[in-house]
Structure 1
């Protein structure tokens, strides 16, 4: 190992320090310049300009490293093979998760665990799949936030797929009612609410599930919208019109103190 390195003299040390100083000044200058220029731009052009900063910084660092290595390591074939072999081994350990994500991406494409247009939930993050890359799956949440999730999650975390490649997915509207009511009437009212929704996909079934709880009666109205992207508007429509229809018939809703006491 000692034979790999060149004899270090004062001139070599000064040259290395000079390269590092110039690289540092260039990085700072590029970042300041791009931020200054971005202040005069708007929209997509500003974002493209700001995105160039990390690329230019990486380029400066790589160029500096290529200039410093010949000053430290004796430039022979044997030394270069040994050096790059060591670097490759270290990079292999550092990028093992990256490689695992690439393999998981191939598995995801083959098993079709999720596809573009699917609505999935991974580790509490729910949204529509907009892109399936080699390393990550990109989803758009209902709050219009783009999230990139490594395929590596496929190995350890459960992945919930709401529609599995179909244009429709099931939506659920919950109603919590006081137990003193006619359950058959409430069930019929909720079915009518779903049938009169402008978002309803009529070829899919409408289901009302009833659960008796200690604090009241829990109704779950299940139906399918025409398009999966309408799920939130559909659920809101069912909830708003369902509450209004039940209130017109004098049905009382479960009180919040009773539910809070049960949860406590």
Structure 2
């Protein structure tokens, strides 16, 4: 029974001035968060290269800083800032979050971690749980991506604890693309590689400062070529891959190399007692 008055004394008596001050702080923080969330992307979309990514990456930390400052100003108005009171309040909050909002709290904590470690930033192209797209918003609980099909997907930061995050460009305008071509094995491999390299070097989407590679793999069904190159802008990656694929296929046909589509994606050959086994019959 004695704990009830002590718990009641945690909170200050709020008069009209205190209530007005709380509302003013909350409204100002909300207005600042909305303003920076709209203004910085608007400015960043008018920039190019690294400056665009740097400005977009500043949105989540600034919003987090606004929230922290607002809470720092509001808590002393609500609670007498003594060590005992703060320990009691934080303990009660932690207990409530632990039982009622376990996953939500975990996502919030992961969101704070992501703001500092930055496994993804606005403008990055990431893959999480099989979803691939451009990061357009990093909130306190979720990260929003837009896929190539223009679908917006919200992924909770909770995935950071148990799922790998594949970041294709990691805060930079440099993103590698792979165009895959399947060819019948009866062809001149040296001429094919040279022709595919010319296709990449003549693409209007190519970033000339980055390297161009043409790699070859041999499989039971034929040859596989990969053109690895970098577009001028990560948002052009799908146009770039399409351009390399279409013109690469035409270039191989002019050399007499017949395009081939395997019945399944290339897999490493199965081994049994050290002997390569033939693929199973359909």
Return the TM-score normalized by structure 2: 0.60
The residue number in structure 2 matching 1:36 is none
Cα distance in structure 2, aligned partners of 1:216 and 1:116: 41
Per-residue CA deviation, residues 204-241 of structure 1 (Å, 9 max, x unaligned), is 00001111111111110000000000000000000000
The residue number in structure 2 matching 1:244 is 250
SS in 2 for 1:148: strand
CA contact (8 A) 1:208 1:222 kept: yes
Inter-CA distance 126–103: structure 2 relative to 1 (3 Å threshold) = same
Per-residue CA deviation, residues 237-263 of structure 1 (Å, 9 max, x unaligned), is 000001111111111123546979947
SS in 2 for 1:152: helix
Cα distance in structure 2, aligned partners of 1:174 and 1:125: 20
Cα distance in structure 1, aligned partners of 2:190 and 2:140: 52
Confirm or deny that 1:128 pairs with 2:134: yes
Confirm or deny that 1:159 pairs with 2:165: yes
Cα distance in structure 2, aligned partners of 1:119 and 1:130: 10
CA contact (8 A) 1:205 1:224 kept: yes
Inter-CA distance 262–221: structure 2 relative to 1 (3 Å threshold) = farther
Q: Which of 201, 225, 239 is the aligned partner of 2:207?
A: 201
Confirm or deny that 1:180 pairs with 2:186: yes
More helix by share: 1
Flag structure 2 segments of 5+ consecutive residues without an equivalent. 1-91, 267-277
Flag structure 1 segments of 5+ consecutive residues without an equivalent. 1-85
Cα distance in structure 2, aligned partners of 1:258 and 1:152: 34
Provide the aligned C-alpha RMSD in A: 2.4
Cα distance in structure 1, aligned partners of 2:209 and 2:263: 40
SS in 2 for 1:225: coil
CA contact (8 A) 2:182 2:260 kept: yes
Cα distance in structure 2, aligned partners of 1:137 and 1:251: 45
Counterparts of 1:15-34 in structure 2, within 5 Å, are none
Confirm or deny that 1:119 pairs with 2:125: yes
Cα distance in structure 1, aligned partners of 2:261 and 2:112: 51
When Rg is computed on C-alpha atoms for both structures, the one with the higher figure is 1
The residue number in structure 2 matching 1:217 is 223
Deviation (angstroms), 1:168: 2.1
Return the TM-score normalized by structure 1: 0.63
The residue number in structure 1 matching 2:102 is 96
